[in-house]
Structure 1
Amino acid sequence: MRVHICAVGRLRKGPARDLYDDYLTRFDRTGRALALGPSKLHEVEDKKGGGMAAEAALLDRAIPNSALICTLDERGKVMSSPDFARLLAKWRDNGRTDLAFVIGGADGIDAALRARADASLSFGAMVWPHMLVRVMLSEQLYRAASILSGGPYHRA
Structure 2
Amino acid sequence: MRVQICAVGRLRGGPEKALIDDYVTRFERTGRGLGLTALSVVEVEDKKGGGMEAEAALLERALPKGCVLVCLDERGRVESSPQFAERLAGWRDKGAQDVAFVIGGADGIAPSLRSRAAHSVSFGKMVWPHMLVRVMLSEQLYRAASILAGAPYHRE
Indicate whether the TM-score tops 0.5.
yes
CA distance in 2, matches of 1:35, 1:15: 29
* In structure 2, distance between residues paired with 1:151 and 1:40: 22
- Structure 1 residue 106 corresponds to structure 2 residue 81: no
Deviations 1:103-137 (A, max 9, x none): 00000000000001110000000000001000000
Which position in structure 1 is the counterpart of 2:38?
38
Q: Corresponding residue for 1:47?
A: 47
1:37, CA displacement in angstroms? 2.9
Please give the alpha-carbon distance, in whole angstroms, between the structure 2 residues aligned to 1:116 and 1:145. Answer: 26
In 2: Cα distance, 1:14 partner to 1:84 partner: 28
CA distances 1:66-85 after superposition (whole Å, capped 9, x unpaired): 00000000000000000000
Counterpart amino acid of residue 85 in structure 1:
A
Question: Aligned to 2:70, what secondary structure does the other structure show?
Answer: strand
Paired residue type of 1:45: E
Name the structure 1 match of 2:138.
Answer: 138
Runs of 4+ in structure 1 over 4 Å off? none
Provide the residue aligned with 1:97 in structure 2.
Answer: 97
1:99 partner amino acid: V
| TM-score (norm: length of structure 2) | 0.99
For residue 42 of structure 1, report the CA deviation from its aligned partner: 1.0
Matched AA of 1:104 = G
Aligned to 2:69, the other structure's residue is in SS state strand
Structure 1: state its 5+ residue gaps.
Answer: none
Deviations along 1:123-155, one digit per CA (max 9) or x if unpaired, are 000000001000000000000000000001001
Instruction: Among all aligned residue pairs of Structure 1 and Structure 2, give the percentage whose two residues are the same amino acid.
Output: 70
TM-score by length of 1: 0.99
Please tell me the root mean square deviation across aligned C-alpha atoms, in Å. Answer: 0.5
- Structure 2 CA distance, aligned partners of 1:72 and 1:37? 22
Amino acid corresponding to residue 84 of structure 1 in structure 2: F
Unaligned runs of 5+ in 2: none
Q: How many residues align?
A: 156
* Residue of structure 1 in register with 2:126 after alignment: 126
